[in-house]
Amino acid sequence: MTIVNIPPFDATCQYQSIAAQIEKNICAVMASGRYIMGPQVKEFELEFAQYLSCDQVISCNSGTDALHLALRALRIGAGDEVITTPFTFIATTEAIGIVGATPVFVDVDLNTYNIDTELIESKITERTKAILPVHLYGRPGNMTAIMEIARKYNLKVIEDCAQATGAVWSGQKVGTIGDVGCFSFFPTKNLGCFGDGGAIATSDKVIAERVEYLRRHGGKVKYQHEELGLNSRLDTIQAAVLLVKLQYLDRWNSARAEIADYYRNQLANVKGIVLPTTVQEGNSVWNQFTIRVLDKQRSNVQKFLKEKGIGSMVYYPIPLHLQQVHSNLNYPLGSLPISEQLSHEVLSLPMFPELTASAQKVVVESVSQAFFALT
């Protein structure tokens, strides 16, 4: 058996491919001395707004802060309810909880992994202020249905685009369809920097203005503070990195899509798994290529791949409604069955733009072999 080493994600080969440009930009920041809110921050905000086709982008320190700032800007807080998915990263509900609001979970759709829009209306109450969909694994959620419900009940929509930078739904980039879109530049995201970073996108002036001063200690004028804010600025160095990387984002997302096509073709006949589907109304940016492994075989498959030197990941092993931190919300085991089923079945295969053709081949052969070995 040949042992390979294929990680689920690799940041270093992307850096190598653009090292000269990145180093030039970083050195320029170091030499300028303008480490906080240097001109590259504004420049990146303008370019990213142009890329997304929205009026304004305000950068901040992380995707988590982007969500937090968006909720604060919309004045969502104590006593308010925010409808969201339990099948996501903790940051989504962390932000809701931090502002004092209550996450209300709606189960996901088995085929898209995203919030089941058919189930949203039954969870709306007088306290509901917003819907917070997550475009999981890079796949846009059904924004047509979400916006329709939001309009009908006069709710705000905050898109968690952390995993979906560049994804499109019905001709529009995600993050520009709802009232506000929240992005993360964590290194494993489609547009990742060399540390933490985030941004909100909006075409609503009031939201943009509030986020802009809430991210820097809640004052419109220096040393005058109207309300409690955060220290949540994007580092100039990270903006300088993102300015280079943004130019490659579409190319990298296309490379991910090609890998996803290859995986889908090559794995089409493997029994015992369910492949992720493509999106009719837009496109996924494939932050993850996540299969479902049926018949309780996931840990066996993952172990088989590991022995071959192939990394795979489980996002997420425990849905948020069953997390200890949310035990006060009283969602018992079995209350959101699809999310619970997925948490036992999902397995993300290696996916990053620089994954070589030979590595892709080893991945599909090994996944096929895993099932052969198991039957």
Ligand X SMILES: *Cc1c(COP(=O)(O)O)cnc(C)c1O
**Which residue's CB is nearer to ligand X, number 238 or number 366?**
238
Q: Quick one: which segment of 158-166, 242-250, 252-260, 361-369 binds ligand X (CB under 6 A)? A: 158-166
**Which residue's CB is nearer to ligand X, number 163 or number 176?**
163
**Which residue's CB is nearer to ligand X, number 41 or number 134?**
134
Cβ neighbours of residue 50 closer than 8 Å, sequence gap 6 or more: none
Q: Which pair of tokens denotes residue 149?
A: 């419900």
Nearest distance in Å: CB 169, ligand X? 16
Nearest distance in Å: CB 95, ligand X? 8
Q: Quick one: which segment of 37-45, 56-64, 323-331, 345-353 binds ligand X (CB under 6 A)? A: 56-64
Binding status of residue 92 toward ligand X by CB under 6 A = yes
**Which residue's CB is nearer to ligand X, number 197 or number 229?**
197
Nearest distance in Å: CB 231, ligand X? 15
Report the 3 state secondary structure along the chain. Answer: CCCCCECCCCCHHHHHHCHHHHHHHHHHHHHHCCCECCHHHHHHHHHHHHHHCCCEEEEECCHHHHHHHHHHHCCCCCCCEEEECCCCCCHHHHHHHHCCCEEEECCECCCCCCECHHHCHHHCCCCEEEEECECHHHCCCCHHHHHHHHHHHCCEEEEECCCCCCCEECCEECCCCCCEEEEECCCCCCCCCCCCCEEEEECCHHHHHHHHHHCECCCCECCECCCCCCECCCEHHHHHHHHHHHCCHHHHHHHHHHHHHHHHHHCCCCCCEECCCCCCCEECCCCCEEEEECCCCHHHHHHHHHHHCECCECCCCCCHHHCHHHHHHCCCCCCCHHHHHHHHHEEEECCCCCCCHHHHHHHHHHHHHHHHHHC
* 88, 236, 238, 360: which one binds ligand X (CB under 6 A): 88
* 163, 232, 236, 312: which one binds ligand X (CB under 6 A): 163
Nearest distance in Å: CB 36, ligand X? 19
Q: Quick one: which segment of 3-11, 17-25, 57-65, 206-214 binds ligand X (CB under 6 A)? A: 57-65
Binding status of residue 239 toward ligand X by CB under 6 A = no
* 138, 141, 198, 282: which one binds ligand X (CB under 6 A): 198
Binding status of residue 235 toward ligand X by CB under 6 A = no
Of 349, 373, 163, 352, which Cα lies nearest the Cα of 266? 349
* 82, 99, 130, 162: which one binds ligand X (CB under 6 A): 162
Binding status of residue 62 toward ligand X by CB under 6 A = yes
Region 128-157 residues binding ligand X, contact defined as CB under 6 A: 134
Residue number closest to ligand X, CB atom: 63
Binding status of residue 89 toward ligand X by CB under 6 A = yes
Binding status of residue 64 toward ligand X by CB under 6 A = yes
Binding status of residue 165 toward ligand X by CB under 6 A = no
Residues that bind ligand X (CB under 6 A): 62-64, 88-89, 91-92, 134, 160, 162-163, 184, 186, 196, 198
